[in-house]
Structure formats: structure tokens, C-alpha cells
Structure 1
Amino acid sequence: MIKRWLRTIGICVLAAGATACSTIDSLEPTDSGITLEVNNKPYAEVWKSSVNAMSTNLAIVEMDKRAGVIKSEAPAGMATWGEVVGLFITPATKTSDRYTIHIVSKTRSTYQLTGQNWAPSVAARIQADLDIE
């Protein structure tokens, strides 16, 4: 009886942990994060700066230049389970005078107490590289 009860609790804990995870696929441009406005820069320059920022201390997992999407992850460490970071550029066209870059950072688990919000550092790299405020 006690074994059955412990097994049931164990399965519930595992199920709760599995459903509370953030993955690369869970990153959406509508998630809260940091938004930058870039004016009078070509898309190629905005894209290159974004790739550089998303690959500094992060591993790029997914990249689609035509869609304006870059997704990276930070590895797990001694005090963290890792984080996932998404960058979304709109519009994803070469013929615009203004681009919006939205950066989202999530911890791997809802229950994760430690971890880094990567959005500010990615945004700062892009701002420095493109010389924007």
C-alpha cells in the first residue's frame, strides 16, 4: 500500500516537472521581454548584430533569417538548469527603414530559483554594435 502511494506521488512529481519546462519551441514573440527599435540600418546589419549577440555565451539552436528568428540556449550549470533565449526581428524584410527586435529569456523550469535573464545582455550587445540608444 505504501509502495503504491509513493509510486503515485513520484509519478505526479515527474509529470509536474515535465509540464513546467521551457523549451526552444515554447519561445514566442508575444512573450514578455525587451524590445529595441532600430532605425535607418539595413536588415543585413541588424541580422548580423543579432546573430553575434545571440551567440556570445549562448549556443544558437535555431536560426531563420527570412523569418527574423534566432533561438539560443544557455547550458545547465552547477546552480542552474539553463535558460532558453529567443530573438524576433520584425519586419523580416530587406526594405524597411525601421526594425523591431524583441528578445525573450526564460528559465528551463518554472520551479527554477536560479538562472540568468539573458535579454538585457543580448540587448546591450546589439545596442553597442548598432550604436543605438
Structure 2
Amino acid sequence: MKRWLRFVGVAILASGVTACSTIDGLESTDKGITLEVTQKPYAEVWKSSVKAMSTNLAIVEMDKSAGVIKSEAPAGMATWGEVVGLFITPVTKVSDSYTIHIVSKTRSTYQLTGQNWAPSVAARIQSDLDIE
């Protein structure tokens, strides 16, 4: 019986660890919010994205040449925290339009609380770049 309880405990711990979202796990193909930006230079789109991803979030990874910004929200009393990714395509200096894809995930799939940061990040970018 003791051996069985130990096995169950290890299985629960392992499932909790494997069910966590991390910065490295954010992908541009994940479900999120997509914005289309036209008639703006890449530098302006990038600057607005950095500003939006650093408001109430901590930037953990940033690569302008890849068009990627990853941030996290800290854990609090009612949440384990969230991870947020922003992906810009294409990553050329000159383009007729850019696509910004924003992904927000809770740290754990079992987490009942937490905030979806994608809408607020998108709203900040839309306001800053004056787009709808």
C-alpha cells in the first residue's frame, strides 16, 4: 500500500510539472489575437510592441531581428502567473503590412485564475499605432 501511494504521489507531481507553460513553450502558431498593421515602418511597430509588452509585464526575451518578444506576469495571491508572446511577421524593414500575433498562457493548465494578457497588449498597440 505504501509503495502504491508513493507511485501516485510521484505521478501527480510529474503531471503537474509537465502541465506548466514556460516562455520557451510560446509559439507563433498558438491560439491568440492577431493584428494587421499597414503603412507603418517596422521600427515603429517594434517600438510599440516593446512598450505594450513591458506595461505590467516583465520582458524576458527580445529579438528584434526575429520579431519576437516574450514577457511574463509574476505570480500573485490568486494566480501562478502568466507567460505572453508577441510575434511580428515579416521581419523586414520595409513592408506594406505587418502581422502581430499575441499569445497569452497561464503557467499551469490546471490554473483556475489568471489573466489573458493578449487583449490588453493588442489594445495598447492599436492605440499607440492608431489602428483599428
Q: How far, CA to CA, are the matches of 2:11 and 2:72 in structure 1?
A: 27
Offset of residue 3 of structure 1: 2.4
What is the identity, as a one-letter code, of the residue corresponding to 2:102?
A: I
CA RMSD, aligned part only?
0.6
- The alignment covers a number of residue pairs equal to 132
Flag structure 1 segments of 5+ consecutive residues without an equivalent: none
Matches within 5 A, 1:16-35: 16-35=15-34
In the other structure, the counterpart of 2:109 is 110
In the alignment, does 2:65 pair up with 1:66? yes
In the other structure, the counterpart of 2:100 is 101
TM value normalised by structure 2: 0.98
Q: How far, CA to CA, are the matches of 2:91 and 2:105 in structure 1?
A: 23
Offset of residue 95 of structure 1: 1.1
CA displacement 1:11-57 (0-9 Å, x = unmatched): 00000001111100110000010000000001000000000000000
Offset of residue 97 of structure 1: 1.6
Q: How far, CA to CA, are the matches of 1:103 and 1:32 in structure 2?
A: 8
Q: Secondary structure at the match of 1:92?
A: coil
CA displacement 1:86-125 (0-9 Å, x = unmatched): 0000001101120000000000001000000000000000
In the other structure, the counterpart of 1:79 is 78
TM value normalised by structure 1: 0.97
Q: How far, CA to CA, are the matches of 2:34 and 2:97 in structure 1?
A: 13
CA displacement 1:56-110 (0-9 Å, x = unmatched): 0000000000000000000011111100000000001101120000000000001
Offset of residue 6 of structure 1: 1.7
Q: How far, CA to CA, are the matches of 2:16 and 2:85 in structure 1?
A: 22
What is the identity, as a one-letter code, of the residue corresponding to 1:6?
A: L
In the other structure, the counterpart of 2:120 is 121
What is the identity, as a one-letter code, of the residue corresponding to 2:105?
A: K
